[in-house]
Amino acid sequence: GEDVEQSLFLSVREGDSSVINCTYTDSSSTYLYWYKQEPGAGLQLLTYIFSNMDMKQDQRLTVLLNKKDKHLSLRIADTQTGDSAIYFCAESTKGSSASKIIFGSGTRLSIRP
């Protein structure tokens, strides 16, 4: 079945770049997403990429998609303490009657001073 995998933890120094990686299995995914969850809150969409793109940039965020390897990454430039959160990679997939989104387990990003 469909699966999305990402590492559970990442620690970076403040001001450095963070790179969060994700692999997925459904080659027919139309969209791939990055969601952010701050402590005590629900998930918030950070950015998404259409499957026929290989890169998308939005201010400090860069998303890279390698469709051949089914690999998605999120780069956060100049990481700040406010970037501390859990980041979820997700892919859209067709269910029996409607599209579903499959989420990874989330990567907890912590920032060192």
Partner 1 sequence: DVKVTQSSRYLVKRTGEKVFLECVQDMDHENMFWYRQDPGLGLRLIYFSYDVKMKEKGDIPEGYSVSREKKERFSLILESASTNQTSMYLCATGQGRRETQYFGPGTRLLVL
Binding stretches for partner 1 (CB under 8 A): 4, 8, 30-31, 33, 35, 40-45, 48, 88, 92, 95-101, 103-106
Q: Residue 40 in 3-state DSSP?
A: coil
Q: Is the separation of the CB atoms in 57 and 77 below 8 Å?
A: no
Minimum CB distance to partner 1 smaller for 42 or for 113: 42
For residues 36-49, one letter each, b for 16 or more C-beta atoms within 10 angstroms of the residue's C-beta and e for the rest, the string is beeeeeebeebbbb
Minimum CB distance to partner 1 smaller for 48 or for 67: 48
Q: Which two tokens stand for residue 89?
A: 């990679």
- Rounded least distance, CB 31 to partner 1, Å: 6
Minimum CB distance to partner 1 smaller for 84 or for 99: 99
DSSP of 45-84: EEEEEETT-SEEEETTEEEEEETTTTEEEEEESS--GGG-
- Rounded least distance, CB 41 to partner 1, Å: 6
Q: Is the separation of the CB atoms in 101 and 3 below 8 Å?
A: no
- Rounded least distance, CB 108 to partner 1, Å: 10
Minimum CB distance to partner 1 smaller for 76 or for 88: 88
- Rounded least distance, CB 6 to partner 1, Å: 9
